[in-house]
Chains A and B, each alone.
Chain A
């Protein structure tokens, strides 16, 4: 199966080499971080999670979003998604591996990570998150391998795989719910302690993930013989539209609650995000302000493009809508969510955070690694599909 990834044209290999170069540079940056410690990052005593954990949080959503193609296909017999399910599962695999890598590079003592299992601690949400994401990765590897293998042989997938597919659906919901619980269960951080956190995570996941899948499909159609067809992409676009609308709705709920109640320890986080706040020395800190307004404007643009059926139907505009959704949420759910949770800090002072070059190179490398995994896996899937017409599995 995997050997299919080793055959490709010039552009394929160029892409692989570029991605390997990005990974290589980031790996060198990581060696530096490993030697000197996390002091090479912009993290501090006050803002102790940053770019890495932001990427982790965002990518758990991308991983979970595979369910948006798996569920209609397997539960509702929505056959048009047949060509997309494996792509969704492969995207989930890449996203899970990226999540784990971001956790790894964020750890102070990465080689002690086995302690999470040696001293398994059920009262820690982090333990459950590890179990959830690890399990989800396993499920997606298993399901995609078995289904694709059967497809290749021109037979229906074995019956025993069906329970795994069914369980992967609630499991996808669980990975992002548990990831939200990492934050929403902390009394120390009023910005995170909201019951809306998990629903919001799911809404943002089900918009940003399928948006990414649409972008990937459009790229594949342009550069390969793969064509998912117009209808499945339009269906995905509807999913992105609903999810993004719900996501923005939930964000507005958060803002209303904080603003109307006027409780300073809630409201100050939003003030810091959108307007900036003075630090202990009286210097105005506005690190997040341009980012958050960019995210908000992108969200509005995306909603206009998505909600008007005429716009959404045009694939050029749909691509633009998906790009705006993706970047809007990448900012909002990543850096916006994580850094704001720490600012102001528990003694109500503001410490600015900005990622360093090393931190950014490592982050880029992990994204490069994800892109490489997606490229290789998609290559395998498409090569196999070219050989055999896909068999629609449904009993």
Chain B
């Protein structure tokens, strides 16, 4: 079990890294286990998802510039 324990710092690194590369099985498991018991990291994950979503909207905007 000990090998699946990660600090918030390590989990934050995985949450950033997965935007650009596929995580290995051990990292995916460790991430899931950490997220289930941590109050703080899910907040960081929401920021990263917000960023991903914002960048996608920006990409669409660069192509049409259709904003009110």
Whether chain B is bound by chain A comes out as no
